[in-house]
Structure 1
């Protein structure tokens, strides 16, 4: 069974792959992994969401997206999933971490493997 927000006792706001695709499309940013980017020409999923929500936002992307109501722990592992980091001990992680990682991984697959259409 796939983990979903409904399976978690702790409710939190999630990022969908489609939301990331739209953020890149709307901002024109070139998708990048392993960096937040500059927010003007390129960026990661978090950067694209921040810049789409607040044009001209060119720093503190993580803090800005967290201020939009996203859980900091969820965002941290979303970023790891988007970057494709695989050195994470999933046995020791809470459900919010697992969901964040899997959501980031799904966004990465959509953006980099299926194309940023």
Structure 2
């Protein structure tokens, strides 16, 4: 079963700036976590995303298209990063997600969504 694991954005992630030494400590911990996912044969892809201020949306209405410039709000409804995993089931995905280092300096959330197979 493939799942998309979404790191939800926060007001901090939307600034694009994180405090030291938190950033280097988090990057090291996340590197070890990603290595464990890779070693377990679960990790397909992973990356962080820039703040939504650097993004664009395309709005569709019939044949019409409109480009909407970021930033997008509220930040908690945005995505700051992702993994694509291949797991046995949702229980395995949840178990791996619970092992993840906190990806933000404060409270944060990770969402797990199965892909259509």
TM-score by length of 1: 0.29
Greater strand fraction, Structure 1 or Structure 2: 2
